[in-house]
Amino acid sequence: MLSLRLTSVAARRIHTDVEARQSLQLKPQPQVQAQQEVKVDAPWGQVAAKVWGEPGASPLIALHDWRDNAASFDHLAPLLNVPTVALDLPGHGLSSPLPAAAQTFSPVNIFTLRYVLRKLGYQKVSLLGHGNGAQLGLLYASLYPDAVSHLVLVDPKQPTPSGDLAGRMGALVDSILENKAHLPVVTGIEQLVASYKQRGLSEEASRVLLQRVARKQDDGYVDSSDPWLDNALFRNLFERTESTLASKIKCPVMSIESDSQQATSEATRQILAKAAASFEHQKVGGNHYAHLEQPEKVAAVLNKFLV
């Protein structure tokens, strides 16, 4: 089942990050469940993950938002009553990037998710997705409806209006082909924290996410996330696509909404209410990172749902 062996590349990277982690001065968190770092070998390198508890035949798979990583669930997973496996999607956290520019098309992550779950032998799982991770979970649950027992959508990204496709696609493709990825800039650890705070995270949440990507380099630190992530072609599903996908989902679905106004669209909710075994919508308040910054509220509704 789950491989606990780290490749030499991953081991070197984790070792390199020790100094960065110490510089981030993370606050200690209570660990209710045992925590492990694992990896899955893939044709393009490896997919890293964090595991809480002892995964059985069908754990909860946690999928982070764009430019986040598995540490997004560091405060939530220990509070859940189910074993949790949080993935670093390609180019995020400790996972290998895909070939240059492949990551600019976010739905490609469906291949990663399916590959990892098959590799680990999980025939049926629950899915917890945040932001773009929620759209990935919705996509997977629609393509493989019998392989998902529960689906949780936390502040999913809003679908892109379908009418924008023709007008945007050509210009976006050309802009990607003409521009190289931005190389990481060597800076101070506090400057990296400040850059994450600009995305709407608290200082503590910024430090939590940076623990998997901040690397010591020369006389400073860099964010080691795949630089091609900044050139995303399509981060979100299109409206018509999302509606069609939602109609294929069979399992119970929960939508969790913060105050960030990134809730599941009304049209998708109506479809899920008819198609899914059950559908419920919960408001927890807070910002887009409520699951990281006020995990007790999110865990309370999740533990009632994931039974």
* Tens-place pLDDT, residues 10-29: 333 333 366 676 777 666 66
CA-only gyration radius of the chain, Å? 18
Give me the mean pLDDT over the 44-61 stretch: 91
The predicted model scores a pTM of 0.87
Give me the mean pLDDT over the 80-91 stretch: 95
* Tens-place pLDDT, residues 208-252: 999 999 998 888 999 999 887 876 666 666 666 788 889 999 999
Which tokens sit at 150?
């529960």
Q: Which residues 6+ apart lie within 8 Å of 300 measured at CB? A: none
Identify the pLDDT of residue 145.
97
Identify the pLDDT of residue 181.
63
Residue 255 reports pLDDT greater than 90: yes
Q: pLDDT-based confidence at 65, cuts 50/70/90? A: very high
* Tens-place pLDDT, residues 117-156: 999 999 999 999 999 899 899 999 999 999 999 999 999 8
Q: pLDDT-based confidence at 101, cuts 50/70/90? A: low
Interatomic CA distance for residues 233 and 173, integer angstroms: 7
| 60 neighbors 84 (Cβ within 8 angstroms) | yes
Give me the mean pLDDT over the 262-280 stretch: 88
* Tens-place pLDDT, residues 180-196: 666 778 889 999 999 99
Q: pLDDT-based confidence at 71, cuts 50/70/90? A: very high
> What is the share, in percent, of the chain residues with pLDDT greater than 70?
79
Of 188, 226, 200, the C-alpha closest to 24 is: 188
Residue 169 reports pLDDT greater than 90: no
Identify the pLDDT of residue 192.
94
Task: Pick the more confident residue, 107 or 267.
Answer: 267
Task: Pick the more confident residue, 264 or 143.
Answer: 143
